[in-house]
Amino acid sequence: MRMRYATLVLLLWSFGASAQSVQLIKDEEAKLPAQAAKTMTRAITRGPGIKLMSPEIVSAPFPFKVLFEPRGQAKIDKASIKVEYLKGAGIDLTERLKADTKETGIETHAALAPVGEHMIRISATDSEGRQGTTEFKLTVK
């Protein structure tokens, strides 16, 4: 009986933990100047694809979902995943999303960010050392 109770408590706790909101971008970070534009080169690559699956225009709290698409038999190196807010000198958001990050992607059901436009860069490397990067503008209304 105790084992069933302990299992139930653990399940409820883990569900509650995953249902909590994630402060993706803080108010003071949003007030920083935009990061200077870097020239990105485009080339043919077999690096992993990275796709924003949630809408780019949202109201807080909002779902935030990103899909990683490795090529061939490669797998995403979870330790290589980096999420960066392109403000100031660049703000690393990776740790804030760590609990919601898997080899297949990032998914949080209740992200929070101030109203405005926010440029975000996500990069990941696969098991063959190939890197994929994407940038997108997230607009919070």
Q: What is the pLDDT of residues 87-115, one digit of tens each?
A: 999 999 999 999 999 999 999 999 999 99
Range of the domain at 27: 21-140
Helix (H) or strand (E) holding 118: strand 116-125
Q: What is the pLDDT of residue 35?
A: 87
Tell whether 10 is covered by a domain: no
Number of domains in the chain: 1
CB 56 within 8 A of CB 109: no
pLDDT at 77: 96
For residue 18, pLDDT over 50 is answered with: no
Q: Does 82 map to a domain?
A: yes
In a domain, 84, yes or no: yes
CATH of the domain at 36: 2.60.40.10
pLDDT at 12: 39
Contact by Cβ (8 Å): 68, 105: yes
Residue-level pLDDT at 46: 83
pLDDT band of residue 60 (cuts 50, 70, 90) is very high
**What's the mean pLDDT when you consider all of the chain?**
87
- Gap between the Cα atoms of 134 and 50, Å rounded: 6
121 has a pLDDT exceeding 90: yes
Name the 3-class secondary structure at 3.
Answer: helix
In this prediction, residue 24 carries a pLDDT of 97
Quick check: is 4 in a domain? Answer: no
**Measured between alpha carbons, how far is 23 from 62 in angstroms, rounded to an integer?**
11
Helix (H) or strand (E) holding 29: helix 27-30
Is 26 a domain residue?
Answer: yes
Its pTM stands at 0.81
CB 127 within 8 A of CB 74: yes
Q: Say yes or no to pLDDT of 44 above 80.
A: no
